[in-house]
Amino acid sequence: MKLSTRSTYGLRAMVALTLEYGHGPVLLKDIAERQHLPTTYLEQLMVPLRKARIVTATRGVNGGYVLMRDPGSITLADVIQVLEGPLELVDCSAVASCHWNPQKCALKTILTEASQLLTDFFSKITLAELARQQVTRLQEGGRDPVLSYTI
C-alpha cells in the first residue's frame, strides 16, 4: 500500500499547524512556502479537514488555519482517513471480476486483518508526537524548527 500525496501533503500541513498550535492562525501560503507544497493543492486538502472539524479557518487580516483540537488528540489515522477514506488494502466489492464468496475468502480475511493493523498503528501516533519527532530531527540537523520545519 502506498499513501497518496493527499495524505503526505496533508500530514505535512498538519505538522506545520501543530508546531504553531496556540500561537494563532497560520496562512496557508506560509505553510506552503515552509513545506515546499503547492498552495492550491493545500487549499483542496483543507476542505475535507475543515468538514471533519480537524482544522478551522478564519478570514481577514489575522486569518488563517488552526487545529480545532489539541494535537495530542488528533491521530495520523484521523487525518489519513479524512483525506484517503478507510485504510483498506483491498476493497473486495470493487473487484468486479472476483467470484469468490467474501464470507469464505481466506485472502479477504487476511487483508482485512492487515488493514486493521495499519489503522491501529496510525491511530497510536498523534500529531503532537509526529511534530516532536520532526523537531528532534531538525535539531539534530542544526536547523531551527520554528523557522524552517520542512518534513
Nearest to 149 by CA among 43, 141, 27, 57: 141
> Alpha-carbon distance 82 to 47, whole Å?
10
* pTM reported for the whole predicted model: 0.84
Which grid cell is 132? 516532536
- Domain assignments of the chain as residue spans, ordered by start: 5-86+126-140
Which grid cell is 43? 487549499
pLDDT in tens, the chain (151 residues): 688 999 999 999 999 999 999 999 999 999 999 889 999 999 999 999 999 999 999 988 888 999 999 999 999 999 999 999 988 887 776 666 667 766 778 888 888 899 999 999 999 999 999 999 988 888 887 665 554 544 4
Architecture per CATH, 5-86+126-140: Orthogonal Bundle (1.10)
Strands in the chain per DSSP E: 55-58, 64-67
